[in-house]
């Protein structure tokens, strides 16, 4: 089977969506950039299947140039295949994508507002705040366009009344960032219970962003 290692890796991290409570039951989706038969594309989780039942042949390969839902599998790809494709097309550095309906990120996203720099770890998403993509029906081109806009100069964003999406240089990186976003959202909801938190200045966040470039390098 083609890309067996990548397919197994997607299954591994799909199971982690459930085991870490980052995304319950069938919710969320995961993809990896890949090539099959000299076609540049991506492998993505199928629509509607429980992660615990996934097999390598269930993972769907789709070409980056596909304008419609065409794939190499008997399964339908995740309903969110469109924004996965568009992220890969617009973000050459994106090698893996994790979309989750994580509890705190989803709760914060229901307010449809960006998360301000109440904590310097906001910088892990790539900017001085975490944007929230405007709401649109799941699986639509409108939603994909909104997500791409919210990801401008960012590697993660919230999706209004929906959840979050993060990308990285590999699945471990993307998954870890999604966990960081969920943790930040959890902290933010606690902070709001105490009132309006102090917001770090643009000048301070610029210093933090410079430091954050080397954060994962130790």
| 6, 32 Cβ separation under 8 angstroms | yes
Which listed residue (68, 69, 80, 134) is catalytic?
80
Whether 80 sits among the annotated catalytic residues: the reply is yes
Residues 6+ apart with CB under 8 A from 192: none
Three-state DSSP state, 79: coil
List helix spans (H) across the chain.
Answer: 4-19, 81-90, 103-109, 141-150, 171-193, 202-212
If you count them, how many residues does the chain have?
218
What are the b/e assignments for 128-142, b being 16+ CB within 10 Å? bbbbbbbbbeebeee
Cα 21 from Cα 3, distance rounded (Å): 27
Active site residues per annotation: 80
């Amino acid at each position: 089977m083609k890309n067996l290692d990548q397919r197994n890796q997607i299954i591994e991290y799909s199971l982690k969506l459930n085991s870490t409570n980052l995304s319950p039951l069938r919710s969320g989706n995961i993809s990896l950039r890949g090539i099959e038969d000299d076609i540049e594309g991506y492998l993505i989780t199928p629509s509607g299947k429980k992660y615990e039942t996934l097999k390598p042949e269930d993972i769907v390969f789709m070409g980056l140039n596909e304008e419609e839902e065409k794939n190499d599998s008997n399964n339908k790809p995740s309903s969110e295949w469109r924004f996965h494709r568009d992220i890969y097309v617009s973000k050459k550095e994106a090698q893996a994508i994790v979309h989750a309906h994580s509890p705190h990120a989803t709760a914060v996203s229901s307010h449809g507002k960006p998360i301000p720099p109440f904590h310097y770890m906001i910088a892990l998403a790539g900017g001085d705040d975490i944007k929230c993509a405007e709401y649109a029906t799941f699986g639509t081109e409108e939603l994909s366009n909104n997500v791409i806009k919210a990801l401008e100069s960012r590697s993660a964003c919230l999706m209004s009344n929906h959840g979050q999406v993060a990308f990285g240089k590999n699945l471990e990186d993307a998954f870890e960032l999604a966990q960081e976003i969920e943790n930040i959202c959890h902290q933010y909801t606690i902070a709001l219970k105490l009132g309006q938190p102090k917001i770090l200045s643009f000048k301070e966040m610029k210093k933090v962003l410079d430091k954050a470039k080397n954060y994962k390098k130790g």
